[in-house]
Amino acid sequence: MTNPYEVLGVSPDASDEEIKKAYRELAKKYHPDNYANSPLADVAEQKMKEVNEAYDEINRMRQKGKGTGSTAGNTGGYSSNGSTSQFYSVRIYIQRNMIQEAEQILDSTPEGSRTAEWHYLKGMCAFRKGWSDQANMYFNTACNMDPNNTEYRAALNNMNGQRTYNYGGYNTSQRGNVGSTGCTCCDICAAYMCADCLCSCCRTGC
Amino acid sequence: MFGYLQVQKSELLVREWEAYQSVYCGLCRQMGRDYSFLARLSLSYDCTFYAMLLMSLRRSCEGFDNGRCTFNPLKKCRFARCADSAYSKAAAFSVISAFYKLQDDLSDSGFFKRLLVRLVKPFFSRWHKKAARNYPELETLAAQMMQAQRQTEQDSACGIDAAAHPTGDMLGSVLRLEAQDDMQKRVFYEFGYQIGRWIYLMDAADDLDDDKKRGGFNPFAHYTGDDLRAYQTATLNQSLARAADAYQLITIIDFKGILDNMLRFGFPAKQNSVVFGKQEEEHDESI
């Protein structure tokens, strides 16, 4: 294993407080919520694991009892309710990042049976490919067809969070607030927080 | 390339700003050595970003030399020393993309610009040949991209995702060349893809008025909603957000402050000036 101090980006003689702070920052950075639908979710999970291990290791070395050991749980990004769905195989393909195969099945589905779930999965395929605009359209359709589905809603909220990303909530430009968009820094923060709340609601709901 | 990948100077430390300049100057000098005095003119901020990222990933910056600027001998400047081929690779990429950009301009620009392009193209053809010989993998990717782009633009209503795909795919594949393992390959590809998509859409947003006038291809020309700028901002934001997600998963040690600055401040600032800048001009005129 690599040097746990290097993993956390602190010097070996850093204080316990500094280590805790560095750990918290990294844990926030790699938090599964940030990578909810991302094709890189598993990479973030791996990083999170490394950070957790490094933190535990340092704690062990410093004989401070056990670390938090809060290794991230399952972050597959999919709730298990998919097992009964008619698109079960599509979900499996998406999970394995086999987007072409998933799209083939979806595209061969007749027009009549293109349900909300179909649109959701189509959006997921587009998103994984990097085609964010189409993904947005499909997620919107899915949510309109089935407004009570928490899974679709969470995906759409995640999209909206990304679409309001600008300056990470910090605004130096006088142009931030001109014309018809009229979206201030505060609006963005507020919108993001709302989206975040909704997201966490869903997570516990699922 | 187009020069959208800039730093936000006001948010940099002075030593970071100096380091950034010295990479720019170092790359400029390399272009003079590898190609010609004139080839330096094709140097863009985008390629500086590429060089800086390469040097950061390979940890190839060894220190700085003092010297003088070739274009302005009165100006002293510093050059970042590079231990490996990062500069050459970025210089080759710059020449190759400039060549294809010229070729593209030949097919869709006005009379005078075409004339100018015809004048400089023979030089670029020669440099391009050399760059393609040294870095065939870059040449292949760029050529593939041009072909894919032409095919996509056949369908004028193909949508912004499809239109931006060739550029995203190219930059993703270019960065993937640097990866050490499969996991890095995916992270680098996603990072490059989203940055490439963003560059393409920025250029499209920038050129929308011109393209409308001349009837050129533009993915935003088919937008039918009532707030074009909000739509452009949302889709550009999303590319940056996804690029930032991937960027966080890359271990950056050298030049971290500068690259962080670009992702967090430089790119969004440039985006706002492209999307809203024109609106301000219109606004001024109407007053």
Q: What is the ipTM of this complex?
A: 0.71
| Alpha carbon of B175: minimum distance to chain A alpha carbons (Å) | 16
Give backbone dihedrals phi and psi of A106, rounded to 5 degrees, phi first. -60, -45
Strands (E), chain A: none
Using CA coordinates, name the residue in chain A closest to B193.
A130
Taking contacts as CB-CB distances below 8 angstroms, the residues of chain A near B8 are 172
Euclidean distance between CA atoms B166 and B179, whole angstroms: 20
Q: Which of B254, B276, B279 to mutate to test the interface with A (most CBs of A within 10 A)?
A: B276
A21, A46 Cβ separation under 8 angstroms: no
Is the per-residue pLDDT at A196 higher than 60? Answer: no
Kindly report, residue by residue over A67-110, the tens digit of the pLDDT: 444 443 333 334 444 445 678 888 888 888 888 888 988 988 88
Euclidean distance between CA atoms B255 and A163, whole angstroms: 28
Candidates B8, B237, B279; nearest CB to A178: B279
β-strand partners of B77: B67
Which of these, B126, B137, B40, lies nearest to B91 by C-alpha position? B40
Is A175's Cβ below 8 Å from some Cβ in B?
A: yes
Taking contacts as CB-CB distances below 8 angstroms, the residues of chain A near B276 are 175, 178-179, 181
Taking contacts as CB-CB distances below 8 angstroms, the residues of chain B near A163 are 234-235, 237-238, 241
Which of these, A164, A170, A161, lies nearest to A199 by C-alpha position? A161
Given an 8 Å threshold on Cβ–Cβ distance, is A165 in contact with B237?
yes
- For residue B251, name the pLDDT band (cuts at 50, 70, 90): confident
Q: What is the mean pLDDT of residues B48-52?
A: 92
| Alpha carbon of A15: minimum distance to chain B alpha carbons (Å) | 22
Q: Check residues B70 and B205 and name the one with the higher pLDDT.
A: B205
Using CA coordinates, name the residue in chain B closest to A27.
B248
B interface with A, Cβ–Cβ < 8 A, is: 8, 10-11, 159-162, 165, 168, 183, 186-187, 190, 193-194, 197, 227, 229-230, 233-235, 237-242, 244-246, 248-249, 264-265, 268-269, 271-273, 276-277, 279-280, 283
Given an 8 Å threshold on Cβ–Cβ distance, is B279 in contact with A179?
yes
Kindly report, residue by residue over B90-146, the tens digit of the pLDDT: 999 999 988 888 888 777 767 777 778 777 788 888 888 888 898 999 999 999 999
